[in-house]
Every structure is written in C-alpha cells, then in structure tokens.
Structure 1
Amino acid sequence: MSDLITTQTPHLTLRVHALDNVRVALTDLPAGAVIEDQGVNITLPGFVRHKHKFALSDMAAGDVVTMYGVRVGKATQPIAAGGAITTENVVHATDELSTETRQKAWQPPEVTAFEKTTFAGYHRPDGKVGTANVWLVVPLVFCENRNIEVLRQCVADALGDDPFYDYKRMARQLLHGQDIAESAAPAGERLFPNVDGVRFLVHQQGCGGTDGDADALCELLAGYICHPNVAGATVLSLGCQKAQITMLQEAIAKRDPSGYKPVSYFEQQRSESEEVLIRDALTAIFDGLKQANQVTRQPAPLSELTLGVECGGSDGFSGLSANPVVGAAVDRLVALGGSGILSEFPELCGVEHELLARCRNPQVAERFTALMAAYQRHAHAVGADFSMNPSPGNVRDGLITDAMKSAGAAKKGGDSPVVDVLDYTEPMTRKGLNLLCTPGNDVESTTGLVGSGANLVLFTTGLGTPTGNPVAPVIKISSNSELASRMSDVIDFDAGPVIRGEASIAQLADELLTLCIETASGRYISKAARLAQLDFIPWKRGVSL
C-alpha cells in the first residue's frame, strides 16, 4: 500500500499518511509522554488508549480531522495538541462527493513467484472453477425452514457427518454424567470423498414482504445455486408464497442458460404428505451427491479465484494491518488475472473520491455514484444514516467516526483499478476488482459477496467475529496478535506482526495469498468450516447499515 508510511517513535505511535493531522497509539500512552512527529515534540496532556488517535496540533471547533490522507471527521470543540480524539470532541464528516474523476495510475505488485502457481479446483461445465464441491438444499420461503432442518438432521445421521457431535456428547455428559451410554460416533470413512458436504440454507423471507423482496431473494438464491462451488441443488417450496418456483427458475436461467446445473424442485402443497415430501427430497439429495462425487479437483490457474473481502468486529488496528494486507493480496491476485470484490457501501463513505479515481471509465464511476446515492436515500427513508455505522465495539477500539472506519475498511480493496460496480445480487462478469453494493452487516454482506461469485472470502477482524458461509471458505485475518492467540480456534491468519514492525505488508500479503491457494485447493480447512459456521442472511434493502 504505497500511501501507508510507518514512521514510529519509541512510544510506538504511527502517522498513517503524510497529510494526516493525527497519529495512532500502538500501545497505551500515559499523560506526559513526549511524542516526536516530523521533528516536533508533542507532550500528551492526558492518557491515550492503544488503537486510539491523538491530535498533532491544536484544533479549534470546526477544524477538519484527517487520517489516511482523507477527511474523517470535524472537531466539535477545541482539542489540544496531543489530545485524544473521542466521540465527545469529533463527529463524522467527509468531503463533498464530486462527479469529476481523475484516472489514477496503478503499478501492479511483483508476482513472479506466483506466475506458474495453480490451485486444485472443481471445473464446471460453464468454464467456472470452484474451490469447494457442495450440494445445496434451499427453501423458497421461511415456512419450509422446519423441513430443511429435518432434512439436515436426516442427512447428517445417514452420512455420519454431524458437525456438532462433540457438543452433543458434551451435553449428554453434563446432564447424565460420564457413565451414560454414548450414541455411535460419526463414521470415519466418507461415503462421498469428493464432496465437501451438503449445505442447508434457512432464512426469514419469501412471503409477507414486497414483490421486490421476493425478486431479490430469488436472484440471491440463483447466485448460490449457480455458484462454481455448488454441484447442484434441491429446492423446497410451500406453494402459495410470493417467491415462486418459476421466479427462481428464471433467475437461474439468466446465470445458467445452458442448464448445466442440476436442480430438483419440491412443492409441499402439491405433495401427498410431509413424509412423501421428505422422502422425495432425500432421494434427490442422495442422487445429487452420487453425481457430484464424480467431479474431482484438477489444476486451475489463479485467474479463476475471486476473493470476496469483508471486515467485522473492526478495531483501531484493522485499517493499519489486516485490511492493508488483504488489499495487497487482492492486488497480487488481480495482477495474476484473478478478481476481488469489495462490498459494504456504508463503509466506503468518505473514500468515494479514491475509488472514483480508480474506476476504469466514466460509466463505472457513474454507476458507483448512483448506487451510493440510492443506498443513502434508502437509509434516510428509515431514519438511518451512514454516520450511524460504527458499532459500540468499533468506537471503544478507536474507530470514532464512520469515515475513519471507512478509510481503513477500504484498504481491503487494495489499489488496483475498479473494473465494475455491481448492485446487490448481480453476478460478477468482469475479472479484476469489483465493487458490490451491500450493507455493512457482516453476514448480510458476506452472503451477498458469495452470491455475486466470490469463491473464497477473506474476513478481517480486530475484536473477533465467528462468521462463515455455507458455500465459500472464509479465512479470518486478525489485526492484532493478542486476538489471534486468544481466539485461535477462530483466526486463520495473524496480521499483528505489521503493528509490531516485525513484518511488512508485502511479506504478509505473499503469505496470505499462499494460504488462499492452499484453502482453494482443499489442503487447508478454514477455522470457520471446522466450526461449521455456515451463516446466510439475505439483505432486506434499506433496513440495514
């Protein structure tokens, strides 16, 4: 990341960008500590907590607060040099968005070491390549969630593949004691070794909403069914809901016009009984697994990888370590012909200028501007605003305003040109970096990323977030080593060495891309997959930030 500088003092502080008028405390700083910044000594008038920012000079009410080289806030009262930036003295503020753009030159990173590298993926008839091979079971309406759960338990029992077996054993032992007879453990041998599992989606939509909600749900489900990580699907419908089978079929046909993807449909109101419905659905699932098992992993170029990038439970270090490392990994993949998808539009607020400058043509820039404006109108219609995006955890760990959070969050997108801008549920069709309109909600956004084609997700966190996805592997990257140690069962990759000055962003980006290749090849199983974190939440537009 060319605009990040790492001038540190013995007290461990950091000025992120040459234009900034704040520094970041990398460790707790006591009152009276003397900090040197560009030849000027600053005495801190009070305690500054690690991950938080402090002023480099006296500020008056109304003065602009700059970080990452962009406006991230406005002082609401005088702040002395060295004074901590807090919610009491700074509010969210961004530069006015201009429709004028400047083309920003991009220097691709060095990727010679990866040029001949391949990953072992599942090649589909339409030419796409998956990083996993799953069978999908999908409800068209929430009324079928109970039947989906029945199918999930039946399939897990039949395959001997219960991800919660150990927890169930724990519960029996806690209730009945150690002497209680245990049920048989899941079988060790996989009946379908080339299949990564059966994934069961549940949601609360399909009926009772608007026609637009039903359309969006069908488009999203079609994105999952047609995903390169999915071998085929079994769909359950009640029959009378707004999200009709024909709507889903039309959405699938747009993505799979040749009809390569096998999909079976079952409608409960046309079935003789629930028992018949369950039996027929189970038969379709097991037949599908036999078919899916015939596909094996084969070498594929890295250009067939699409990294969806996401952040959740961010802290004051996320924009300094984990997010820039992910962005640098995306840049490497784009330089190799692959793709990245950056989402969470509320967390791009304040850095629109930087992204517009990277759009490959005026049409892409105009689409980004239009979708950002439309999202803000939706938010305002329900009494919300992008400035409300930071969570209490974000604020506690130094992300005082949405613009401050956004400036760091956007680093996940690297520096490569923006080739396309997608609305929610739209499939990615152009290789390179894409922007996708989603909310900042972790699971809703991750759900959207995969629905638009990400076959691998990089998820950064500073506080720890147990989020996964039913279709695409999710790799968790921690912003600090304390989190990586404390939640080692959740975190896959530690970007903390950047904060300690022990590794560069470039070094860790190479390591992270290598981990992506291992995960895409099935040689590394992400922590989210091991814990069966299979989260899926469709976005009801205009309700969520």
Structure 2
Amino acid sequence: MTRFRIMTKNMFLQIDTHDNLIVALQPLAKGNRLRVGRHAIELIDDIPEKHKFALKDLDQGDLAVMYGVIVGRANRPIRCGELITTDNLDHATTEYRETHEPYQWQAPLPYPESSTQFMGIRRPDGKVGTANYWIFVPLVFCSNQELNELKKVLPPALGYGSTSRYAHFTEELVKQIKTKGAPVDPVISLDSFDPQPEPLFPQVDGLRFLTHHMGCGSTPDEAEELVELLANYITHPNTAGATVVSLGCQKAEVKALQAAIVRRDPAATKPVFYYDRQSWAEPVDMLEAIIRQTLISLHQANELSRREPVPVSELVIGVECGGSDGFSGISANPVIGRAMDHLVGKGGSVILAEFPELCGVENEIVSRCAEPELGSRFLELMKSYRKRVQAVGFDFDQNPSPGNIRDGLITDAMKSAGAAKKGGTSPVVDVFDYPGHASKRGLNLLCTPGGDVESTTALAGAGANLIIFSTGLGTPTGNPIVPVLKVSSNSDMARRLEYMIDLDTGPIISGKKSLDKLGAELEKLCVETASGSYRAKAVRLNQEDFIPWKRGMSL
C-alpha cells in the first residue's frame, strides 16, 4: 500500500518512495534548495502549489512515476527541480497484465465511537433507503413538457421549498416599482428569505422530475439502456413511487419498462402509474389526472414511510470526483478511500466508477480482484471503452480538463492514480457495465464515463443510496434521489465555496489532521446524512442533475 511521507514542514510531498515526481504543497520559489531522501534538489523553476517537479534528471523517453505507478513519459530532457508541464511530459501508462495471485486484505479496526446503525427507510422488498422521493419519469424527451408543467405547480403547492429565493427577491422589487416607481430599496436581501416551508407530507422528502433528451431517434440498444436505467431509479430504495409519462410511439416503450421493473421487483411492492399522452384527447385532462393521483399517492407514502434503525452494512455508497486538482489524490480521495475501507469492513457496499479515470492503474485494480474472471472483465470493459473513444479520433489521455491541468493534473494517468484512491484498498468483488446494478457487498466497479453527471446518474441507478463526491476546484453537482456529499481537497476552496462543501480535507495538506481523523469525520457525516439528520449541501442547493449516458448514434 502507498505510504504518504511529508517532509520539510509540509512544503512538498513524495507520495511513494519510488516516485520521481514531487508535489508542491505550497508555492516554491526558483532557487530553493530541498532535500528529498538522499536527493538534494535546487529548483530551477517557480513551482506553483499543487504542481510537480522532477526529483532527478529525466532523459527524453524516461518514465515519470507518482503514487508508485507510471503517469507519463518525458518528451524532452527534464532537469532535476524543473516544473512538470504539458510541454515536457506526455501521458503514458504500463501495459495491461493479468495476475492470479490472491489479494490479501484485512479490514481496518472500527473508529472509536463508530456507528453500527443509521436511521434508514426499510422497503417491502428489503432494500433500505436514505431518502424518500416521489419521482416523475418521462420515457421520451417529448414528455418533458408535461413534467415541466407539473414541476411548476406541485412542489410549491405541497411545501417542498421550490420557490426560488431569486423569485422572492424579484417579487419584492416589482412591489417597489408599483408603489415607488423604481426598485431602489437597499433593505431587500436574499438572506431574509426562507425557502423551506413546512411540507404537507413531512415523511416524503420531495418530488423529483427526471427530464432527459433521450427515448427516441436512437439505436435499439440505447433505448434499452435508458429503460434499464429508469427501472433502476423507479425501484431504487430512495423512491416511494413513480409517475411515468410517455408519448406513445417512442422507442423506449412502456412494456419494456414494465418488464424491467418486474425483473427487479417481482412482487410489485412500489406504486407506479403510467400516462400515455397520445391516449388523451386533451393534455389538460391528463395533467389533472396526474395531479389527483399524485396527491393520493403522496398521502399513502407519507403514512407508510418511517425511519428505523438499520445496520450500517445497508449503506451502498457511490464514490465520484469532479473538478479535481493536484491535491485531490493526496487529501480528499484518500480520505474517502479510508472511510470506504471501514464501510466494507462493516459489510457495506462501495461503487467506484469513471473508467477513463482508472487509466494507468488497471494493473493495481486487477491485482485486487477477488476472482481472476473479475480482472479479465475489468480489462475487457476498459479495452472496449477505449476502442469506442479511439473510433471517433480521441483517447483517454484527453480526459483532463483545462482546470485539471491548470491545478497540477498534467496527464490522465496522473489524474487517474489519484482518482482511484477513492475506492480504498479492499478487494474488488464485482465488475459490471452501465446501466447495471450492484448486487454484492464490498467494492464494486461500474463502467461509466468520467463526466460528473453521467457518472453520478449511473451510480444512483446502480443502487447507491449515498454518493460522496470529491472536488478540488468546486463542483455543485447533485442527484435527484440520492444525497451527494461534497468533499474538498483544499481549505482555500472550502472557505471560498463553503455553500457547496460538506467536508474539508485540506487539513491533511497543512498537517493539522490525519487521514484517520478525517476518515472518521466522513464516516460520521455519512451516517448523519443517511439518517436524514444532515442535509447535504447539494440537496439544499436543489442540484437535481440527471443525464443518462448516451453511448449510441442518433438515427
């Protein structure tokens, strides 16, 4: 296992003793003399915080190593103490290899005062939810209009806090124009607005509208994937029931969705109502029928849904990163990984996705697979995905965004080596493709894109009842039905964007807190969020992002 070694008053970090790239934990000036182990280094460039410099001279073609793995190849000679940039380092990884040696792992001892239970919602099918939503699902983009109409009227009328604070602010200014002729009163403030009225059905957390731009004009495989994803959301333990709206002639057919739901819930334990636009003479009649049925269903859901103590092993946590920076892989992601190891040790489940951001650490992951066939399946999915990317003229090395690069993630392999830390160190118990569903306790791998919302959409669909999302630059992404906790990699961003960050792991960089200390804090926050006693910032911000992965061509 990689051991972190911080030297010289937390100025820089050699993550693994085999690394020849060093991370600057604070801005380092040109001319500074540092000692890393037996290496004496004089910096020949200014090294910005989060960026890397060479531990020793590298010739053109030499491999760059971080986290103990290859993360790049020098495209020209790089001098000791030189800043690593996209101009002198290209993406490079090791060749795939399969191993059949048993992976040895021992679960960590529980944290002091670690919780063994949370207050969850036990469903009739045995699954446990961390929230309770009624969802509205369009089978095709043609039905988004109906959902938009319902979204305008239902949440505000039922007290779910959907009245925008900006709408309130605008209304106050309009009143001033009518009475004074100009909106000049400086007393009006957004801070005076409370967007959380008392809901009519307090045991139901809200209504969610899963609008999307798919369902027709696509390949049959893509329509099938959409149906499978929507069935996952409808049968998700955080869903109390669903209203499905279709046009009637779309490729994503109602009968296909019904069959997918039956496969997941043969006993039909959850109410699902279907409305076909083309079967109604007037859309107003259909919408009024939906509103009536929704109120009846919400009343029933409110009576039937209660939280009760359940084992922590019922948690299924999806781990995600977005807007990553040069600290993500040494603070936020290792903290998440440590907490996930503790969850797996208690019998819980973890889902690690974003396969383009596992590029370069494939061999490490294969070595952790509980069965040889899991390693083979993982590599096959990686190869297949990469071929599809290459078929349109791109490759995984183009994954890093300008923001990633600006903040020190120079290659995709460098980004991936840090991103993989979210999965902890436990054995991989299952590997499956989108839009699959996790069925085994332990660490699962789900093939998704690296895009934030496509990946979180897939994680919730795979059964995650909580998502932990690390960010170094600040990303407000949420999910319609699953709480998304934001973990910052650095304290500067956490202070600046406090409204979106739930936990700051920046104290690892400053040396003020340990990995275990922050891991325990994250575990506690997960239990509080799953119990409904803490509202994730993404939920408060109404971040209800839903984007199904479009893998096929439009026809």
Shorter chain as denominator, the TM-score bin is: over 0.9
Aligned-partner SS, 1:357: helix
| Matching residue of 1:4 | 3
CA distance in 2 between counterparts of 1:314 and 1:346 reads 14
CA distance in 2 between counterparts of 1:12 and 1:370 reads 41
Which whole-Å deviations, capped at 9, do the CAs of 1:246-282 have from their partners, x for residues lacking one?
Answer: 1111111111111112100000000121011101111
Matches within 5 A, 1:2-401: 2-10=1-9, 12-111=11-110, 113=112, 117-174=116-173, 177=176, 188-294=197-303, 295-401=305-411
Aligned residues: 541
CA distance in 2 between counterparts of 1:185 and 1:327 reads 36
User: Is 1:422 aligned to 2:432, yes or no?
Assistant: yes
* Cα offset, 1:476, TM superposition: 0.2
Letter aligned with residue 219 of structure 1: E
Which whole-Å deviations, capped at 9, do the CAs of 1:399-420 have from their partners, x for residues lacking one?
Answer: 0000000000000000000000
Is residue 505–residue 518 contact of structure 2 (8 Å, CA) maintained in 1? yes
* Cα offset, 1:113, TM superposition: 3.7
CA distance in 1 between counterparts of 2:423 and 2:217 reads 37
* Cα offset, 1:176, TM superposition: 5.8
* Cα offset, 1:191, TM superposition: 1.1
Is residue 355–residue 448 contact of structure 2 (8 Å, CA) maintained in 1? yes
* Cα offset, 1:7, TM superposition: 2.7
* Cα offset, 1:162, TM superposition: 3.6
Structure 1 residues 407, 365: closer, same or farther in 2, change over 3 A? same
Which whole-Å deviations, capped at 9, do the CAs of 1:259-307 have from their partners, x for residues lacking one?
Answer: 1121000000001210111011112221221121121100000000011
| Matching residue of 2:184 | none
Q: Answer with 367-376 or 166-175: which moved more.
A: 166-175
Aligned-partner SS, 1:534: coil
CA distance in 1 between counterparts of 2:134 and 2:52 reads 48
CA distance in 1 between counterparts of 2:298 and 2:48 reads 53
CA distance in 1 between counterparts of 2:206 and 2:126 reads 22
Is residue 160–residue 198 contact of structure 2 (8 Å, CA) maintained in 1? no
Aligned-partner SS, 2:5: coil
The one of 490, 502, 509 aligned to 1:492: 502
* Cα offset, 1:115, TM superposition: 6.4
* Cα offset, 1:39, TM superposition: 2.9
The one of 494, 511, 536 aligned to 1:501: 511
Q: Answer with 3-12 or 488-497: which moved more.
A: 3-12
* Cα offset, 1:446, TM superposition: 0.3
* Cα offset, 1:110, TM superposition: 1.1
In structure 1, the gaps of 5 or more residues are none
Aligned-partner SS, 2:7: coil
CA distance in 1 between counterparts of 2:505 and 2:84 reads 25
Letter aligned with residue 231 of structure 1: A
CA distance in 1 between counterparts of 2:178 and 2:518 reads 49
Which whole-Å deviations, capped at 9, do the CAs of 1:359-403 have from their partners, x for residues lacking one?
Answer: 000121111111111111111122221001000000000000000
CA distance in 2 between counterparts of 1:5 and 1:518 reads 29
Aligned-partner SS, 2:27: coil
Is residue 324–residue 472 contact of structure 2 (8 Å, CA) maintained in 1? yes
Is residue 165–residue 185 contact of structure 1 (8 Å, CA) maintained in 2? no
| Matching residue of 2:545 | 535
Is residue 480–residue 495 contact of structure 1 (8 Å, CA) maintained in 2? yes
Letter aligned with residue 546 of structure 2: F
Q: Answer with 459-468 or 363-372: which moved more.
A: 363-372
CA distance in 2 between counterparts of 1:159 and 1:497 reads 42
CA distance in 2 between counterparts of 1:460 and 1:157 reads 32
Is residue 314–residue 460 contact of structure 1 (8 Å, CA) maintained in 2? yes
Is residue 325–residue 472 contact of structure 2 (8 Å, CA) maintained in 1? yes
CA distance in 1 between counterparts of 2:330 and 2:434 reads 28
Work out the percentage of aligned pairs sharing the same amino acid. Answer: 53
Q: Answer with 9-18 or 261-270: which moved more.
A: 9-18
Letter aligned with residue 370 of structure 1: E
Q: Answer with 221-230 or 39-48: which moved more.
A: 39-48
Which whole-Å deviations, capped at 9, do the CAs of 1:214-241 have from their partners, x for residues lacking one?
Answer: 0010000001001010011000000011
* Cα offset, 1:53, TM superposition: 0.5
Is residue 312–residue 442 contact of structure 1 (8 Å, CA) maintained in 2? yes
Which whole-Å deviations, capped at 9, do the CAs of 1:315-369 have from their partners, x for residues lacking one?
Answer: 0000000000000111000000001000000000000111101100012111111
Task: Give the root-mean-square deviation of aligned CA atoms.
Answer: 1.7
Matches within 5 A, 1:398-417: 398-417=408-427
Is residue 480–residue 545 contact of structure 2 (8 Å, CA) maintained in 1? yes
CA distance in 1 between counterparts of 2:166 and 2:132 reads 26
Letter aligned with residue 329 of structure 1: A
Aligned-partner SS, 1:355: helix
Letter aligned with residue 84 of structure 2: I
Is residue 457–residue 472 contact of structure 1 (8 Å, CA) maintained in 2? yes
Aligned-partner SS, 1:489: helix
CA distance in 2 between counterparts of 1:164 and 1:425 reads 33
Is residue 33–residue 41 contact of structure 2 (8 Å, CA) maintained in 1? yes
CA distance in 2 between counterparts of 1:542 and 1:502 reads 48
CA distance in 1 between counterparts of 2:261 and 2:386 reads 30
Structure 1 residues 542, 415: closer, same or farther in 2, change over 3 A? farther
CA distance in 2 between counterparts of 1:389 and 1:40 reads 33
